Amino acid sequence: MRFSRLLVTFSLMMMMAISNEPFALAHKEEYKIYGFPYSASTWRVLAVLHEKGLSYYPITVNLRTGEQKKPSFLSINPFGQVPVLLDGHLKLTESRAISLYIESAHRSRGTKLLNHKNYKKMGIETMWMYIESFEFDPPATTLTFEQAIKPMTGLKTDYKVVNETEPQLEKVLDIYEERLKNSRFLAGNRFTLADLFHLPNIEYLMNTTTKRLFESRPNVHRWVAKIMARPAWRKACDANAWYDEMEN
């Protein structure tokens, strides 16, 4: 009796040591995600969850009916935006912060999306994450909004804005083209959060004429093809996968 209890305790300790995170398998309802299956920022977080092999509990906030601006949702995120992550009593907004949180909480699980142990590598990775946020995202989001989001909601694309914004994106892509000559991914030879953060806008932009800016740069093109093909990404931006998860 005592021996078997000891054995159970020992096995549990071993499991925790191996997984480096207590109760890693009991996460089924651990993460609740308020999101929308056509929302680029929601996809960013879902990509991380799929890379890590974590399931999640999806809560749909219908952006098409303006649910995100209703008092019930504003009490969850006063900015009226998705995604929002709930981990027990912890609530986080901002898709990149949520991504970093999940990656840090499950560093040894699934795809390792950052170098937590090497502060120099981490520095480079953080730098590329911020380059995405401050250099790539502003023009990319404008181009996505004009050419992909507006038409979906019955609004007209402003081609003057598109024409003015594309050169800003080109400047960034020229720098990426140089970087990717000598590096398989932006922060080095491994896929990291820095690459992943680009995917939501790229997914939309590859359906627009802006696609040519990516395709005319061979190293950028190779990188885009490689990151877009990741199974975790294909699942993240598949609306059916969101609804399937709701049924589980």
Ligand X SMILES: *[C@@H]1O[C@H](CO)[C@@H](O)[C@H](O)[C@H]1NC(C)=O
Ligand Y SMILES: N[C@@H](CCC(=O)N[C@@H](CS)C(=O)NCC(=O)O)C(=O)O
Task: Determine contact, residues 29/54, Cβ cutoff 8 Å.
Answer: no
d(CA 208, CA 145): 11
Contacts with ligand Y by CB under 6 A: the residue count is 12
Question: Which residues neighbour 52 within 8 Å (Cβ) at sequence distance 6 or greater?
Answer: 102, 103, 106, 109, 110, 111, 113
Helix or strand or coil: residue 173?
Answer: helix
Binding part of the chain for ligand X, among 68-76, 80-88, 91-99, 200-208 by CB under 6 A, reads 200-208
Residue 81 touching ligand Y (CB under 6 A): yes
d(CA 68, CA 106): 29
Residues 41-60: x/- map of binding to ligand Y (CB under 6 A)?
x-------------------
Residue type, 35: G
Task: Determine contact, residues 144/40, Cβ cutoff 8 Å.
Answer: yes
Residue 142 touching ligand Y (CB under 6 A): no
Residue 204 touching ligand X (CB under 6 A): yes
Q: Work out which of 24, 34, 56, 68 binds ligand Y, going by CB under 6 A.
A: 68
95 binds, among ligand Y, ligand X, none (CB under 5 to 8 A by kind): ligand Y
Binding part of the chain for ligand Y, among 75-83, 152-160, 204-212, 233-241 by CB under 6 A, reads 75-83
Task: Determine contact, residues 119/65, Cβ cutoff 8 Å.
Answer: no
Catalog residues that contact ligand Y under the rule CB under 6 A. 39-41, 63, 68, 80-83, 94-96
Catalog residues that contact ligand X under the rule CB under 6 A. 148, 159-160, 163, 203-204, 207
